[in-house]
Structure 1
Amino acid sequence: MESTVKKNSNTENNTTIKTTKKTSKKMKKFLSYAAFVGPALLFFIVIQIIPFFMGVYYSFTSWNGVSSAVEWIGFDNYKQIFTNDPKYYDSFEFTTKFMFAAVVISNIIGFTFALILNAALKTKNVLRTVFFLPNVIGGLLLGFIWQFIFVRGFSAVGDLTNIDFFQLPWLGDASTAFWGIVIVFAWQISGYMMVIYIAALQGIDTSLIEAAKIDGASLYQMITKIIIPLILPAFTICFFLTISMAFKIFDLNLSLTGGGPFNSTQSVAINIYQEAFTYNNYGVGSTKAIIFFIIVAVFTTVQVMVTKRKEVEA
């Protein structure tokens, strides 16, 4: 009897010790995860989540952004925007056109750079740095630099060469100002896209390319039939990034044209900024921001779904 009792007690002690060890291991894992993820999660909640829900709340109010009086007005702001705010629709039209042009041009340039620099060039590392460098420069600074180039630099070159391209009123006319912003955006962001495409290209099995060359495939056939289908996930990422960046353009637009001439190049972000902080209609500005968020979220979600389906088909 005594031996049986001792065995049972020893078994219980061993079980308790094992349970305690497992609990301590789980606690250590939790604390290590919390130490690494906790600060980032806290900042994300404070900087992103809380302001977002505050914006949703203020979109149903009439508030000037300064006074303590916040009046709940329900869906009046939404009704006003959908029925009587032509400037908001104009800014959406400009932003949508800009997005399509910027996405196509940026990805073509980035993919072309990636194809060139993926080859065995002696200067490829230097060129990668040079092409990526514009992405490091801040948008406002970049805009002011290109504003000087468009206004003073192009004018000086045009006077010397009499080439019509350099004599255009790049930031003074609606059509040329539009393409001026597209050029600067593509110049800034194409290097970033290039890096993603290079990473994808380096994952391709070189034996496939060599076999295609032996079979007599042209460069166009290798790009369209082999390379692009194999790196479609990279296109999904690049399209998502360029679409979201182009939709949310603010700093380049502000420093290059400020939305001019005559609001012809005013992006949605600038329209929201002016509504909230220039005209002191914080409630209406929040409403515009929420509508803008929903449209961008739907657009990017559809884009990812479509391109992911293409990946599966390929």
Structure 2
Amino acid sequence: MKKPIKHWFPLFMGPTIICFVIGFVWPFIQGIYLSFCQFRVTSKVQWVGLANYVKVFQDPTFFHAFWYTALYTIVSVVLINVFAFAIAYILTKGIKGSNLFRTVFFMPNLIGGIVLGHIWSMIFDGILSKFDTSILLETKYGFWGLVIVMCWQQIGYMMILYIAGLQAIPEDMLEAAEIDGATGMQKLFKVTIPNMMSSFTICLFLSLSNGFKLFDQNIALTAGQPFIWKGATQIKTTEMLALNIYTEFYGSNTAARGFAQAKAVVFFIFVAALGLLQLKFTREKEVQQ
């Protein structure tokens, strides 16, 4: 089989590789180059060196968006994975209607982020109007609104991954622990969780990267509002990093597009580094187990 596979490999993989290069590799390389330039359109660029990157680390809106995104991601990652694992654990205990519950919990993941943001915006405003306020008027409501929306959408997806991990644990191992007199909590923390580290690796990576990359729900739910002023700079208090870059690139100052591109490169480097560190840490736990 190896000989015909090697012979026909270019025919089957060639179109895919070409599409990948055209659709991802070339735009990625071009984006890095443009981050060192000033431009309005990509056909007319002016090289400015590291000036855009210097401006990034002097921009108060970028730092506010960074810390806001980091806080949001920490809270959402913890809540999503705790609730997803708890629901998955309960649904693998043979309760009646477990397949129906799995479907119901997974369905929010099928709704697009923009639609989801607008739906929940109406829900939150309907609730908060009774207190003469709105999700767009107070930062704390915007923050927790984003957390609730993200949890509601992603818990079902992570639950499916955790269910797959729970079902992969050998039954004889659980039976042996029960015969040895282990309690339910001891089986959970000494047998179940250690054998599910690969599932935790995947779910933590997905929820971590999704938290930092959140855009659709952010623009639909709050669009960064409300605003505060820091000196002469207007800061959107619920604006996350992806929205901050988008606003900079497509804002009224089209000459700042190279500046926005530099923000995007810094954003990519940070998220990639964080994701790799998380994968390294959790995979080491897998090996130890």
* Partner SS for 2:193: helix
Counterpart position of 2:101 = 127
User: TM-score, length-normalised on structure 1?
Assistant: 0.83
Deviation of 1:125 after TM superposition, in Å, equals 1.3
> Which moved further from structure 2: 195-204 or 29-38?
29-38
Aligned in 2, Cα 1:128/1:29: closer, same or farther, shift over 3 Å? same
**Preserved CA contact (<8 Å) 1:140 1:251:** yes
CA distance in 2, matches of 1:269, 1:64: 20
Residues 121 and 135 in structure 2, CA contact (< 8 A), matched pair in contact too: no
Aligned match of 2:276: 301
Percentage of pairs with the same residue: 41
Distance 2:37 2:115 in 1: 36
Q: 2:209 aligns with which of 233, 244, 249?
A: 244
Helix, strand or coil for the counterpart of 1:64? strand
Contact 1:212 1:222 in 2 (8 A): yes
What is the alpha-carbon distance in structure 2 between the residues aligned to residue 312 and residue 126 of structure 1?
A: 35
- The 5-angstrom pairing of residues 252-267 of structure 1 reads 252-262=217-227, 263-267=236-240
Which has the larger share of strand? 2
The Cα of 1:63 is off from its aligned counterpart by 0.6
Match runs of 1:39-188 below 5 Å: 39-65=15-41, 68-82=43-57, 84-152=58-126, 154-155=127-128, 169-188=134-153
Structure 2 counterpart of 1:174, one-letter code? T
Please identify the structure whose Cα radius of gyration is greater. Answer: 1
Alignment correspondent of 2:288: 313
Could you say if the C-alpha distance between residues 277 and 313 of structure 1 is closer, same or farther in structure 2, counting changes exceeding 3 Å?
A: same
* Letter of the structure 2 residue corresponding to residue 209 of structure 1: L
**Residues 38, 257 of structure 2: 8 Å contact kept:** yes
Which position in structure 1 is the counterpart of 2:9? 33
SS of 2:40's partner is coil
Aligned-residue RMSD, C-alpha: 2.0
Question: 1:216 deviation in Å?
Answer: 3.4
Q: Is the 8 A contact 2:226 2:238 kept in 1?
A: yes
Paired residues of 1:65 and 1:276 also in contact (CA < 8 A): no
| Partner amino acid, structure 2, of 1:271 | N
Output the CA distance in 2 between the equivalents of 1:244 and 1:178.
18
* Aligned-pair CA distance for 1:245: 0.6
Change (3 A) 1:287 1:184: same
Work out the CA distance in 2 between the residues paired with 1:115 and 1:33: 43
- Residues 158-211 of structure 1, C-alpha deviations (whole Å, 9 max, x = no match): x5xxxxxx8874443111211110111011111111111111111111122223
Unaligned runs of 5+ in 1: 1-21, 160-165
Give 2:265's match in structure 1, choosing from 270, 274, 290.
Answer: 290
CA 215–142 in structure 1, closer or farther in 2 if over 3 Å, else same = same
TM value normalised by structure 2 = 0.90
Cα pair 1:150 1:171 within 8 Å, conserved: no
Structure-1 residue corresponding to 2:245: 272
